[in-house]
Chain A
């Protein structure tokens, strides 16, 4: 059975990061590896690797932020997709982690006297505004890409946020 070496995946991520291309894809022995530049977390789906939700805190390390490997079985070896494994107890929260797509200042409301866009427990639909990140007087509304319930708000109002910093957990 062909196995995906971590070193190969790291090398591919490095190529993608350095070249600045949006996507790099290779296919070998029935396994397709797709590295796509994107800010949102990606769920790994493969029979060969455990499914690990993205960590809440950005650990840094050699992987450039925004480059997450997406591994998809091709038809040749396609098997029924395994269910996402439950993370180990006490590790990271379940759900989708919404990360900062840009550097700036995080605001939970459109004006100081306005109600927050969301609270813990709020139900959100795809496209609902979660917060604003201001950079250079550009007020960027950050919209939800998933439907669900706000489980955690990880940043204080009016706090500076860095690129890829986790902002919300939605379940």
Chain B
């Protein structure tokens, strides 16, 4: 076991999350490893952690860039008891959980969530998530939640630099990763349990941190839609007021269309 993994497990306060932990110095994608482990029977809360991913996945096959040894890149196996139509609640719950962990680290961090699950610090992205699941084989639903959190990275590739940040850059000091990871796992376990019991509570906590609430946003689509962000539904969908009435948006990149009045 790596030093980081041993430190994390020594600090765990969870029942399940992180109790089964696989760590890699380098891996293709933690999501791919977690999906394979889930197929082999990994329990809820099993975690795959890597110092570097050479095929880190983002939405639509985009690469996730993260320097080795500085950040937290991990995937968690989830076995939710949710209707398929409400799997989006996982997205909302995980977002709120990451916000919890960041604010526990530094209450002054200017944290916001960009729908559906980008975590922003001072308007720049510091954490991305990608969920992957397999539906249709008749088995109980398995979802793998992949999280990449920029912790101590100082320099980003030029293409990302204007849009990316890290906890270190915002706080002005390095952040010990093992206690942070233990906090993340504790908040994820708590919020993902709450998700089953009080979905409306997850939505209201999510909306308290929602970057674009009440603002005019443009969803690139397809199809492209512009409207006022009203909040989120318990399915995780974005509620948008448009000239044609209220619309529910389930997928797409979001951008702020007009600055707040």
Q: Does A143 contact B (CB under 8 A)?
A: yes
Q: How many A-B residue pairs have CB under 8 A?
A: 102
A40 closest partner in B (C-beta):
B136
Contact with A along B52-69 (1 / 0, CB 8 A): 000000011110000000
Report the separation of the CA atoms of residues A141 and B38 in the bound assembly, to the nearest whole angstrom: 15
Task: Please count how many residues in chain A sit with their CB below 8 Å of the partner chain's CB atoms.
Answer: 34
Are A141 and B252 interface neighbours, CB within 8 A? no
Q: Does A145 contact B (CB under 8 A)?
A: yes
Are A103 and B85 interface neighbours, CB within 8 A? yes
Q: Does A49 contact B (CB under 8 A)?
A: no
Q: Does B203 contact A (CB under 8 A)?
A: no
Within 97-142 of A, Cβ neighbours of B (below 8 Å) are at 98, 101-105, 107, 110-114, 126-127, 129-130, 133-142
Are B135 and A101 interface neighbours, CB within 8 A? yes
Contacts of A135 in B (CB 8 A): 87-88, 236-237, 250-251
Report the separation of the CA atoms of residues A158 and B252 in the bound assembly, to the nearest whole angstrom: 10
Are A139 and B130 interface neighbours, CB within 8 A? yes
Contacts of A139 in B (CB 8 A): 59, 130-133
Are B137 and A136 interface neighbours, CB within 8 A? no
Within 117-158 of B, Cβ neighbours of A (below 8 Å) are at 117, 129-138, 143
Q: Does B84 contact A (CB under 8 A)?
A: yes
Are A105 and B251 interface neighbours, CB within 8 A? yes
Report the separation of the CA atoms of residues A159 and B129 in the bound assembly, to the nearest whole angstrom: 22
Task: Please count how many residues in chain B sit with their CB below 8 Å of the partner chain's CB atoms.
Answer: 32
Contact with A along B13-40 (1 / 0, CB 8 A): 0000000000000000000000000000
Q: Does B44 contact A (CB under 8 A)?
A: no
Report the separation of the CA atoms of residues A114 and B117 in the bound assembly, to the nearest whole angstrom: 25
Contacts of B231 in A (CB 8 A): none
Within 90-133 of B, Cβ neighbours of A (below 8 Å) are at 90-92, 116-117, 129-133
Are A105 and B136 interface neighbours, CB within 8 A? no
- Known contacts A105-B252, A136-B131, A138-B131; 10 additional CB pairs below 8 A are A111-B61, A129-B134, A136-B88, A136-B250, A138-B133, A141-B134, A143-B134, A143-B136, A160-B222, A163-B85
